[in-house]
Amino acid sequence: MRRLAIDATPIVAALKGDAPALYANGGASFGAGIDARTKERLDAGVLAVELIVRGVIEGSFHEGLDGKSHVEAFPAPLELLEILLPSGSDLSAAKAAVRRSEIIADGTVRTKRWSNRPANEMPPLGIAEEARDRARAVGLRAHIIGVKELERMGAGMLLAVGRGSDNPPCMVVLSGGAPRSKDPLGRRLAMVGKGVCFDTGGISIKPADGMEEMKMDKNGAIAVIEAAATVAQLDPGRVIHAVAACVENMPSGHATRPGDVVTALNGKRVEITNTDAEGRLILGDALHFAERDLGATHLVDVATLTGIVNSTFGGEVAGSCGTDPSFLDETHLAARRAGEVYWPYPLADAYMKNMDSWAGDFQNSGSREAMLIRSGLFLREFTTVPWVHLDIAGTAYRRANAPWAGRGSTGAAHSTLVELAMGGGVRR
């Protein structure tokens, strides 16, 4: 029997410690230690157990071709995990944490495996089929919105991005709980994900070098779908919504051209000056749909949206922004519990002028100045309720095997979304 014993005592000490930490606006904590206000309600031993179990399960996932594991990349499967806790720890709560962590880790592994699938195996309608099966398995309702319904709705931005591909776009909607009801926190939370199954850049085509990685541009969509499924397993009947906007961004004689003007789902006219700034287009329609049609009171979107976020924050920290400081703080605290790091950037109104358009209400790109900020400003135009944006372009994909994880999708944002939906970021 292959067994592993881990002493959680130093982890508990670190979580309880007052070591210097980074703080976002509102007091959300990143780095060593737990935010002082959070210590009062969070058992460090329980959190240590959750992080250890998740780390072992998620870190053991190394996927190769055809779903086969790279045997040389990690040891034989683990059969027994022993966690040593400090005396006085709540063992009953720790046992419950093990089961909770197994469910969350399974969702993260599913997110990784699904995101790693190549574009020829996972077109937009392929995501829809997988999502429908997943919803059926966990008791969620699934609705797939195809091209005809998107046209009738007026989702002009999403349709514009998908126009160049032979694989039609769609919008995947998963819902849990009674319609129009709210979760125990009084919210109707909708998680919105970017699902670009392959991104060539369209007519504004990307360089060939590294383009094979653009199958990873669907990570946000997979994360929200799996997060909803995980929430349904942790708390059956809990109110939750996931909306995945799924397209391929391809060049062809039917593709959208730079300079085309389209009408968004909310009626705004958008000049498309760069077809490689497609993620914000499909998210804009999906965000408005979630608010208008699902009645979302709170919105969080997840996307591999900008290359500049990787240049800014690197591969360990993701970017965030939002319209409501309290909800942004909740999201950061949920991420802290999930073991992820998001750092906020400002939505400075002054940069909206960089997206001025004489042909429409605004354009989707603009100058290079403040590119990251402008991506958030664009999305803000399609929300009126509290909204948070998570840009995981730098953290969603690992290019090489690491001692703690394999190459490919990292499953970024899945656990943060689950913690946010389950109330793990709420200050009590």
pLDDT tens for each residue of 189-229? 999 999 999 999 999 999 999 999 999 999 999 999 999 99
pLDDT at 74: 45
Asked if residue 175 and residue 65 are part of one domain, the reply reads no
Q: Is the pLDDT score of 75 beyond 70? A: no
Asked if residue 162 and residue 64 are part of one domain, the reply reads no
In the chain, the percentage of residues whose pLDDT exceeds 90 is: 72
Record the pTM. 0.91
pLDDT at 83: 84
The pLDDT tens digits of the residues spanning 367-404 come to 889 999 999 999 999 999 999 999 999 999 988 877 66
Question: Out of 187, 238, 280, 380, which one is annotated catalytic?
Answer: 280
Stretch 307-321: mean pLDDT, rounded?
A: 95
* Whether residue 206 lies in the annotated active site: yes
Residue in the block written with tokens 């059969």: 79
Domain total in the chain = 2
Confirm if 168 and 124 have CB atoms less than 8 A apart: yes
Confidence of residue 45 (pLDDT cuts 50, 70, 90): confident
Stretch 83-109: mean pLDDT, rounded?
A: 89
Asked if residue 251 and residue 395 are part of one domain, the reply reads yes
Confirm if 243 and 145 have CB atoms less than 8 A apart: no
Confirm if 66 and 366 have CB atoms less than 8 A apart: no
pLDDT at 76: 54
Asked if residue 74 and residue 15 are part of one domain, the reply reads yes
Asked if residue 244 and residue 321 are part of one domain, the reply reads yes
Residue in the block written with tokens 């909800």: 327
Q: Is the pLDDT score of 73 beyond 60? A: no
Confidence of residue 59 (pLDDT cuts 50, 70, 90): confident
Tell whether 316 is covered by a domain: yes
Asked if residue 165 and residue 74 are part of one domain, the reply reads no
Tell whether 109 is covered by a domain: no
Which residues constitute the domain of residue 306?
A: 120-421
Alpha carbon distance 240, 50 (integer Å): 23
3-state class (DSSP) for residue 22? strand
Tell whether 113 is covered by a domain: no
Confirm if 277 and 168 have CB atoms less than 8 A apart: no
The pLDDT tens digits of the residues spanning 258-272 come to 999 999 999 999 999
Tell whether 146 is covered by a domain: yes
Question: Out of 206, 268, 407, 427, which one is annotated catalytic?
Answer: 206
Asked if residue 94 and residue 46 are part of one domain, the reply reads yes
Tell whether 181 is covered by a domain: yes
Domain boundary among 100, 133, 168: 100
CATH number assigned to the domain comprising residue 227? 3.40.630.10
Asked if residue 260 and residue 146 are part of one domain, the reply reads yes
Q: Which amino acid is at 68?
A: K
15 or 257, which is more confident: 257
* Whether residue 380 lies in the annotated active site: no
